């Protein structure tokens, strides 16, 4: 039986790697990489650097797997993501068949933690269920961008006794649109659990995957933002304050990091003052 390890590697700083992750890397011989996008080259070289640094044997290699194209214009977002995940599963399955011998151990070095906005667990699950090959997999946790953000700002994620919600820029925009449109208030907003507004009393909301700085629409509501870009890397940027006071600075910094690096990844936490 082939074995795959899904190893969380943290979000950019090699010292975020856990001892368990290092042991798992040392148990692996073939490292599959299926990243894409402008950050691909840098993230692939970071993975190579991690392998060079942490693996005690010479018997490892990196295999790049071309990623499937995702239909970003599709009306049904969830169906489009499922189709994309399925074709990703086919490609990875083929690469595992070709590159990993029976009884050998392969790995995927996954950004942050494999459980947070990452499709790889679903992809491996699909490969196992298809039963074309005999495969087991195991998940090794890593430091998420959410933890890196809280640590960098030296803040707790939740207010005392308050709840914490993690969401995406897309969902935040949908929620704001539903709030601004009384017609859809019973539908969209309630579906998002937003009966008490964008931020419920005592709630903290972490927003990921937001290329549009959607927090801008929250100006004038006494909401604080803790923003971090490229956390754990030499380009890390941190800004905090009341939304309307810091929006322009965040947009400027975001654009500057993107211009310098060619890519930017940011996460932010919102809560009422």
Ligand X SMILES: C[S@@+](CC[C@H](N)C(=O)[O-])C[C@H]1O[C@@H](n2cnc3c(N)ncnc32)[C@H](O)[C@@H]1O
Residues at the site binding ligand X, with contacts judged by CB under 6 A:
11-12, 111-113, 116-118, 144-145, 208-209, 228-232, 265-267
Q: What is the largest CA-CA distance in the chain?
A: 63
**Nearer to ligand X among residue 189 and residue 210 (C-beta):** 210
To the nearest whole angstrom, how small is the minimum distance from the Cβ of residue 26 to ligand X? Answer: 22
To the nearest whole angstrom, how small is the minimum distance from the Cβ of residue 266 to ligand X? Answer: 5
| Residues constituting the chain | 273
To the nearest whole angstrom, how small is the minimum distance from the Cβ of residue 97 to ligand X? Answer: 26
Q: β-strands 61-64, 204-208: how paired? A: unpaired
To the nearest whole angstrom, how small is the minimum distance from the Cβ of residue 77 to ligand X? Answer: 15
C-alpha distance from residue 183 to each of 98, 178, 187, 192, 259 (Å): 54, 8, 8, 15, 40
Give the strands of the sheet with 266-272, arranged side by side.
164-168, 204-208, 266-272, 223-229, 237-242
Residue 182 CB burial class (10 angstroms; 0-12, 13-18, ≥19): exposed
CA distance 227 to 237: 8
**Nearer to ligand X among residue 29 and residue 118 (C-beta):** 118
Name the residue number minimizing CB distance to ligand X: 112
To the nearest whole angstrom, how small is the minimum distance from the Cβ of residue 118 to ligand X? Answer: 4
Torsion of CA 47, 51, 52, 55, to 10 degrees: 170
**Nearer to ligand X among residue 204 and residue 230 (C-beta):** 230
To the nearest whole angstrom, how small is the minimum distance from the Cβ of residue 1 to ligand X? Answer: 27
CA distance 259 to 45: 20
**Nearer to ligand X among residue 144 and residue 175 (C-beta):** 144
**Nearer to ligand X among residue 100 and residue 207 (C-beta):** 207
**Nearer to ligand X among residue 12 and residue 188 (C-beta):** 12
**Nearer to ligand X among residue 74 and residue 211 (C-beta):** 211
To the nearest whole angstrom, how small is the minimum distance from the Cβ of residue 225 to ligand X? Answer: 14
CA distance 124 to 147: 25
């Amino acid at each position: 039986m082939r074995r795959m390890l899904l190893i969380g590697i943290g979000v950019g700083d090699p010292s975020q790697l856990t001892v368990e992750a290092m042991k798992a890397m040392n148990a692996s011989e073939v490292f599959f990489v299926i990243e894409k996008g402008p950050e691909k080259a840098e993230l692939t070289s970071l993975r190579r650097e991690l392998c060079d640094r942490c693996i005690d044997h010479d018997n490892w290699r990196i295999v790049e797997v071309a990623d499937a194209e995702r239909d970003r214009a599709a009306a049904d977002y969830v169906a489009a993501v499922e189709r994309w995940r399925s074709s990703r599963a086919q490609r990875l399955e083929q690469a595992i068949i070709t590159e990993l011998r029976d009884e050998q151990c392969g790995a995927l070095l996954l950004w942050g933690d494999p459980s947070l906005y990452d499709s790889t667990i679903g992809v491996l699950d699909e490969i196992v269920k298809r039963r074309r090959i005999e495969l087991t997999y195991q998940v090794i946790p890593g430091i998420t961008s959410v933890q890196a953000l809280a640590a960098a700002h030296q803040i707790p994620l939740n207010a005392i006794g308050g709840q914490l919600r993690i969401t995406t820029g897309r969902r935040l925009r949908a929620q704001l649109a539903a709030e601004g449109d009384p017609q859809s208030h019973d539908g969209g907003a309630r579906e998002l659990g937003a009966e008490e507004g964008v931020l419920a009393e005592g709630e903290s909301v972490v927003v990921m995957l937001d290329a549009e700085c959607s927090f801008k629409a929250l100006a004038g509501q006494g909401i604080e933002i803790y923003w971090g870009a490229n956390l754990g890397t030499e380009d890390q940027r941190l800004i905090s304050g009341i939304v309307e006071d810091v929006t322009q600075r965040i947009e400027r910094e975001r654009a500057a990091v993107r211009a310098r690096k060619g890519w930017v990844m940011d996460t932010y936490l919102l809560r009422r003052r």
